[in-house]
Amino acid sequence: MKFYYSRLPLLLLVIAISGVAFNASSTTIENSVVSAAEKRLDDPIPAPIQKGSIRLRLKQIVSDLTAPNWAVSAPSDPEHLYVGDQDGKLWRINLTNNNKEVFLDFSDVLVPLGISGSGSFDERGFLGFAFHPQYAENGLLYTYTSEPAGDSSDFTTIPSGASPNHRSVVKELRLNSTSSPAVVEEVRVLLTVDQPQFNHNAGALNFGPDNMLYIAFGDGGGADDRDGQDSGGNPIIGHGTDGNGQNPSNPLGSLLRIDPAGNNSSNGKYGIPSDNPFIGSDTALPETYAYGFRNPFRFSFDSQTSALVLADVGQNDIEEVNLVQAGGNYGWALKEGNFRFEPNGNEPGFVTDESVAGDFIDPVVQYDHDEGTAIIGGFIYRGNAITALQGKYLFGDVAKTGQGDGRLFYSDGSAILELDLTEQDQPGFWVLGFGRDADGELYVLSNTTGTPFETTGAVYKVIPNASFDAGFVDIPAVNVMLDNGDSSVYRARLQLVQDSQPLRFELVDHEQLTDRFRDDTTTFDQTTGKLNLPFTNVVDANGKISTYAAELQQVPDMPVLTFELSKQPALVK
């Protein structure tokens, strides 16, 4: 029997003073659980997530990966995107020609993947990496890997006589990246953490704008963040009575902030910044930046405002997006989202709308399991290609029903909307992660198995359609094929010529782009004069979006580059 947290001190006081028999107190506890069950919310957020007004496309740039889960550029290397694959590979993708190569391979240090053997699900693996802000000068890369337990770890919650499932290892690697694959010249282990169960590892690493390294840890796995329940045929251990999420004296369930260049940590291998919020605390690790998380997968910094946005995977009901503040307590496992969480003994936990005593920070936005099963954090968009997405947080859910039906969402912090995809209603794959390149453009990482096996993994770039609004056609990227056989990529704007029939459009603005912005579907052939716009969004007076395929023909001998609509546009969606 598990005590209901907020009533435990009162019950113990009653027992101590009145000498009530244990059987009587057990009945009282049973009644409190029944009372909580009566307040269970089966549909905590009834309103469904609506389709938003932003219609975009997904352009596959790489395939034949396994389970990609994180992608970023390296400092001073805008031509490449580096993609972490759960099975241990770090890929380098050339964004000009989309060629890929293995940059590093950590598969030999990982715990064997597949909780039920080869081909089965797992949350362990190569889970995070971050380039040092001065990587171009010092060659430093930081990694988070799930490795076999064995040696004594820096941090553990495992009781004496028991063994962890594995351990999380954060390393610093000094690379010589002039060759391919890169050469690791030096490896330094920064910290190790025992993991009680296979799941809830989190694993994201990011350098903040303060040049400190932030590391996300989940609550240690199992379910409900409590000892005693069954997990794969074994009782859950390593969480204690109150859970790791509410115990900032260990790394589990917390976001850490460290200085890799320092040495004042307990193991002497990294530094603890003097302005960390729990410096001098008797109850929290000085490394702790924020706590109360279940499985923070993932977090990122807004490149414009430096806001730290963290997505936390829920238990049975609520998925949430948080704005993280130094010293903040985000509630798990007393809360799931902004609801009260009831562990419910050895049965599945649930939420109620009862209050919870404590100083907690609630999510900015949240959704329930009518909409998905596990949130996947992304990035606030700050690129230049998609005006409508500017300043909005792009994220997703791994699979609405757990059957490879991932979803893509965006939010401005006030509501969640579903991304409107041009060529399909839903992505059609497991959403495993997101990426951001040096231009601020975003990527979706996926596979079709939901496991760290096989080679169905792919990377998709989020790209805009052309648009026609208020007499202007805005073309985000057009591949211009020149008379001499060369090609270039341009952003262009055309203006409708008033009273023209057939409709004519004049070029009023253009900008040459790098080849990494190339959109092979939108083309202008200088030899034939044909401008092909296969995806053009048009919004009517009621705000309804329709997408058309249009073909225009250059009008010869005009002082300004002019095109004429050569055939009736075809409705795409």
- Domain containing residue 377: CATH number: 2.120.10.30
Q: Does 23 map to a domain?
A: yes
pLDDT tens-digit map of 453-483: 999 999 999 999 999 999 999 999 999 999 8
Task: Tell which of 464, 491, 512 closes a domain.
Answer: 464
Distance CA 75, CA 421 (A): 31
Q: Which helix (H) or strand (E) holds 29?
A: helix 22-38
- pLDDT band, residue 21 (cuts 50/70/90): very low
Which residues form the domain of 21? 5-38
Which tokens in the block code for residue 420? Answer: 């409107």
| Cβ contact 169:192 at 8 Å | yes
Report how far residue 452's alpha carbon sits from residue 267's, in angstroms, rounded to the nearest whole number.
Answer: 33
Q: Tokens representing 328?
A: 């903040």
The domain that contains 535 carries what CATH number? 2.30.110
Query: pLDDT at position 32, please?
Result: 52
Query: Has residue 44 been placed in a domain?
Result: no
pLDDT for 230 = 83
Give the whole-angstrom CA distance, residue 242 versus residue 229.
Answer: 14
Instruction: Indicate whether 447 and 474 sit together in one domain.
Output: no
Q: Would you say residue 45 lies in a domain?
A: no
In a domain, 382, yes or no: yes
Does 507 lie in the same domain as 417? Answer: no
pLDDT (tens digit per residue) in 148-174: 998 899 999 999 999 999 999 999 999
Whether residue 340 is found in the same domain as residue 300: yes
Cβ(563)–Cβ(553) under 8 Å?
yes
Q: Is the pLDDT of residue 78 over 80?
A: yes
Contact 167, 124 (CB under 8 A): no
User: Above 80 in pLDDT, residue 63?
Assistant: yes
Residue 491 located in a structural domain? yes
Higher pLDDT, 228 or 20: 228
Out of 431, 464, 497, a domain closes at 464
Q: How confident is the model at residue 29 (pLDDT cuts 50, 70, 90)?
A: very low
| In a shared domain, residues 151 and 293 | yes
pLDDT confidence band for 23 (50 / 70 / 90): very low
Considering the domain architecture, whether residues 424 and 509 belong to the same structural domain is answered as no
Strand (E) or helix (H) holding 16: helix 8-18
Residue 18 confidence (pLDDT) above 50? no
Q: Pick the closest to residue 271 from 260, 279, 280 (CA basis).
A: 260
**Tokens describing residue 380:** 């606030």
How much is the pLDDT for 485? 87
Q: How far apart are CA 69 and CA 67, in angstroms?
A: 6
- Decide if pLDDT at 41 tops 50: yes
Q: What per-residue confidence (pLDDT) applies to 107?
A: 98
Last-in-domain residue among 437, 464, 491: 464
Shared domain for 257 and 397, answered yes or no, is yes
Mean pLDDT, range 50-66, rounded to an integer: 97
Q: Do both 441 and 541 map to the same domain?
A: no
| 460 and 471 together in one domain | no
Half-sphere exposure of 505 (CA within 13 A, CB side): 24
* Claim to verify: residue 257 and residue 192 sit in the same structural domain: yes
Q: Is 289 in the same domain as 367?
A: yes
Answer whether residue 266 shows pLDDT above 50.
yes
Per-residue pLDDT at 35 exceeds 80: no
488-522 confidence digits (pLDDT tens): 999 999 999 999 999 999 999 999 999 999 988 99
pLDDT over 80 at 97, yes or no: yes
Task: Give the residue-averaged pLDDT of 296-319.
Answer: 98
Number of domains the chain is built from: 3
Task: Return the pLDDT at 157.
Answer: 98
Burial of 7 (0-12, 13-18, 19+ CB in 10 A): middle
CB distance 32 to 3 below 8 Å: no
- In-domain check, residue 358: yes
pLDDT category at 9 given cuts 50, 70, 90 is very low
Stated pTM of the model: 0.93
Based on C-alpha coordinates, what's the Rg of the chain? 26
**Same domain as 432, residue 313:** yes
pLDDT per residue as tens digits for the range 339-356: 999 999 888 999 999 999
State whether 9 and 139 are in the same domain: no
Q: Token pair for residue 385?
A: 């290609």
Q: What per-residue confidence (pLDDT) applies to 256?
A: 99
